[in-house]
């Protein structure tokens, strides 16, 4: 079942004009000038691993360069609270999958299209710190002259990064693009921070621009539902005040009534996530016991009280080969 981040991202940036705004904000200017943006269109073919659906969503677009050559844009949205140090390897795998799909669909072609990989991050716990180049993940000899020789032998790959957590609100507001794209950047940037409720009134003019655009009411409904699912009571009250300032009372009340449904949805999702976490925690304890590792009460409580499914999955992967509990907790990439 898709989560609130996935639904919001796909609704907002799955549309070519808003996707183009995101890509233009990150791509080098010379590349932007060579793309025929009128040809940008969404493509099917998600390659995110099923177990990562709660922490990621991905979008694929195709376009043409001004000379007519094909181009693919692979956009991954990272939702998880912690930075994944292996993202470069995962992105390389995703891009290779896209190229394999393209080869099957275009067997007559002798060349591959360029695939532009982009990670857009909005985690709540600080800026992105993971390597963006896959060659940085390899353990190479320490000697400088030897390292260059070895670096030439490993794969070279780099993804673009749009780290929303590193951007100021003024910079996001000033980005060119449709009003909904700019509002989405701000909401994603501050949606899981304590600043959200205080910042919402400062975006009233932008809310009004979204309302005035085609499909404005529907767009606002999606934004409000997302704010409710990720925000608190103060956010809900403040968002209601903003709504009343950009539309008439009846329309605002209709949108506010949908909050009850969203609250029920959030409770349902929370229950499902808790169930998945409990199942993984019990499975992890079984693996550790079967492998003869001593699990003291402190470790047992650490496992049973963890509610982050991505963290539990990492512990499960490490438990298969770990010889001590410390190897289960520690990231081997650190």
Lowest mean pLDDT among 24-28, 54-58, 88-92, 165-169: 54-58
- Backbone dihedral region of 123: left (phi > 0), alpha (psi from -120 to 50 degrees) or beta? beta
SS3 292: coil
Q: What is the pLDDT of residue 13?
A: 93
Please check whether residue 78 lies inside any domain of the structure: yes
What's the token pair of residue 175? 């980005």
Please check whether residue 225 lies inside any domain of the structure: no
Q: Which of 166, 194, 223 is the last residue of a domain?
A: 166
Check residues 6 and 98 and name the one with the higher pLDDT. 98
The model's confidence at residue 50, banded by pLDDT at 50, 70 and 90, is low
Determine the average pLDDT of the residues in 237-264: 73
Lowest mean pLDDT among 268-272, 279-283, 298-302: 268-272
Contact 12, 181 (CB under 8 A): yes
What's the token pair of residue 327? 């190897």
Please check whether residue 156 lies inside any domain of the structure: yes
Determine what percent of the chain is predicted with pLDDT higher than 70: 87
Q: Which of 166, 183, 210 is the last residue of a domain?
A: 166
Summarised one tens digit per residue, pLDDT across range 61-84 is: 999 998 888 888 888 888 766 788
β-strands 56-65, 70-78: how paired? antiparallel
Place of tokens 């709504």: 243
Determine the average pLDDT of the residues in 6-24: 92
Backbone φ and ψ for 161, nearest 5 degrees, come out as: -135, 130
Please check whether residue 295 lies inside any domain of the structure: yes
Q: For the range 246-252, what are the long-range contacts, defined as Cβ-Cβ under 8 Å and sequence gap of 24 or more?
A: 246/204, 246/207, 246/208, 246/211, 246/220, 247/211, 247/217, 247/220, 251/217
| Residue 241 predicted with pLDDT over 70 | yes
Residues with Cβ < 8 Å from 69, sequence gap 6 or more? Answer: 113, 114
Check residues 291 and 85 and name the one with the higher pLDDT. 85
Provide the domain limits for residue 310. 281-329
Q: Which of 136, 166, 196 is the last residue of a domain?
A: 166
Read out DSSP for 139-177?
Answer: ---SSHHHHHHHHTTS---B-EEEEGGGS-HHHHHHSSS
Q: In what order do the strands lie in the sheet with 160-163?
A: 35-43, 56-65, 70-78, 114-121, 160-163
Check residues 325 and 181 and name the one with the higher pLDDT. 181
For residue 114, the surrounding DSSP H or E stretch is strand 114-121
Q: What is the pLDDT of residue 217?
A: 86
Q: What is the pLDDT of residue 219?
A: 92
Q: What is the pLDDT of residue 334?
A: 43
Distance CA 119, CA 234 (A): 31
Please check whether residue 23 lies inside any domain of the structure: yes
| Residue 287 predicted with pLDDT over 70 | yes
Q: What domain count does the chain have?
A: 2
Determine what percent of the chain is predicted with pLDDT higher than 90: 35
Q: What is the mean pLDDT of the chain?
A: 84
Exposed, middle or buried, 297 (CB in 10 Å: 0-12/13-18/19+)?
exposed
Summarised one tens digit per residue, pLDDT across range 124-178 is: 767 899 999 999 999 888 776 777 788 888 889 999 999 999 999 999 999 999 9
Please check whether residue 96 lies inside any domain of the structure: yes
| Residue 237 predicted with pLDDT over 80 | yes
Q: What angle do CA 27, 58, 259 make, to 5 degrees?
A: 110
Please check whether residue 16 lies inside any domain of the structure: yes
The model's confidence at residue 21, banded by pLDDT at 50, 70 and 90, is very high
């Amino acid at each position: 079942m898709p989560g609130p981040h996935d639904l919001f991202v796909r609704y907002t940036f799955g549309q070519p004009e808003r996707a183009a705004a995101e890509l233009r904000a990150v791509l080098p200017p010379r590349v932007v000038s060579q793309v025929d943006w009128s040809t940008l269109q969404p493509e099917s073919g998600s390659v995110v691993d099923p177990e990562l659906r709660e922490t990621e969503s991905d979008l694929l677009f195709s376009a043409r360069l001004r000379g007519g050559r094909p181009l693919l844009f692979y956009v991954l949205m990272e939702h998880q609270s912690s930075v994944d140090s292996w993202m470069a390897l995962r992105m390389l795998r995703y891009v290779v999958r896209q190229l394999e799909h393209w080869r099957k669909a275009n067997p007559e072609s002798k060349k591959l299209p360029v695939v532009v990989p982009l990670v857009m991050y909005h985690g709540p716990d600080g800026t992105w710190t993971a390597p963006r180049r896959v060659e940085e993940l390899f353990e190479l000899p320490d000697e400088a002259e030897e390292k260059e020789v070895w670096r030439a032998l490993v794969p070279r790959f780099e993804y673009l990064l749009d780290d929303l957590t590193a951007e100021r609100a003024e910079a996001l507001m000033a980005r060119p693009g449709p009003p909904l794209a700019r509002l989405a950047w701000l909401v994603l940037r501050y949606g899981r921070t304590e600043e959200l409720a205080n910042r919402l009134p400062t975006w009233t003019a932008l809310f009004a621009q979204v309302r005035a655009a085609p499909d404005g009411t529907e767009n606002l409904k999606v934004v409000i539902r997302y704010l409710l699912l990720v925000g608190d009571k103060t956010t809900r009250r403040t968002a209601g005040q903003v709504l009343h300032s950009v539309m008439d009372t009846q329309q605002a009340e209709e949108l506010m009534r949908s909050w009850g449904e969203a609250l029920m949805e959030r409770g349902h999702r929370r229950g499902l996530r808790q169930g998945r976490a409990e199942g993984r925690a019990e499975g992890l304890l079984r693996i550790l016991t079967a492998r003869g590792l001593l699990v003291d009460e402190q470790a047992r409580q650490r496992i049973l009280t963890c509610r982050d499914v991505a963290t539990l999955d990492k512990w499960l992967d490490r438990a298969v080969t770990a010889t001590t509990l410390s190897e289960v907790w520690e990231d081997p990439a650190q």
